[in-house]
Structure 1
């Protein structure tokens, strides 16, 4: 079995945002594929593929706002506290930037999660905890 790493996921997506399909049920050997039913969780966590959703100005409108972050066994509120530049990328780039989120209670490990709020279309982000308490997270959007 090939190991799925963050690097391969980043390289495989058109927008450079790490997203991955998690929880897909594969049919047993010899079974007809149309007999397999995907878990409801997979349908809810559809991967975001629209590059327009990954623009700085879209997130800037919601800076300091709370988002619902959900994934397998995870549902919590996170606040978008910072939108920053990526080193060696044009400052203020609308296509390449970093998002920093915080949460009041310890959150999950790194992974792909759905981020949503009112008047904000559900968007998949690869969130990485940046502190030992798992209360601060970073998502890197790099569409160079």
Structure 2
């Protein structure tokens, strides 16, 4: 009969763990997501300034995302309803309106002629999904 001691079991466990780590090697890195699945991200704080949008109030924009391309009109540029500084150039709300039912809430690219495409998170504010709000909060 073999005599198992606590020291022998611990030693065998440590050896087994070391062998497993060496045999497995370093963890593999995840493959990048396919280009179609990656949402565009707008960089540059200057794209998120109140004046840039206020100048285009009442104008139509293209709202695009996966499987979505819809015209929406920018109908309002207002102060944040949740305690933002009045008249802030960096923190404000945008309200868009569509003529037909729009998409679920999500990040979409908003663009128009002579306006750099800008990513915004749009949230429908009515049951018909024709009015949307985007909050820009660069405090």
Q: TM-score range by the shorter chain?
A: 0.7 to 0.9
Pair 1:105-2:100 in alignment: yes
Q: Which of 111, 115, 126 is the matching residue for 2:121? A: 126
- Residues 131, 39 of structure 1: CA spacing in aligned structure 2 closer, same or farther, 3 A cutoff? same
1:44-83 mapped onto 2 (5 Å cutoff)? 45-83=39-77
Partner of 2:34: 38
Write out per-residue CA displacement over residues 54-103 of structure 1, whole angstroms, 9 at most, x where no aligned residue: 00000011110000000011110000000000132221100000000000
Q: Could you list the structure 1 runs, at least 4 aligned residues long, displaced by more than 3 angstroms after superposition.
A: 29-33
Structure 2, unmatched stretches of 5+, are: 1-26
Q: Which has the higher contact order (CA 8 A, sep 6+)?
A: 1
Find the counterpart in structure 1 of residue 11 from structure 2: none
Closer, same or farther: CA 134–32 of 1 in aligned 2, 3 Å: closer
CA RMSD of aligned residues (A): 1.8
Change (3 A) 1:32 1:48: closer
Whole-Å separation in 2 of the counterparts to 1:138 and 1:57: 17
> Which residue of structure 2 lines up, in the alignment, with residue 20 of structure 1?
none
What's the offset of the Cα at 1:32? 8.0
SS, match of residue 46 in structure 2: helix
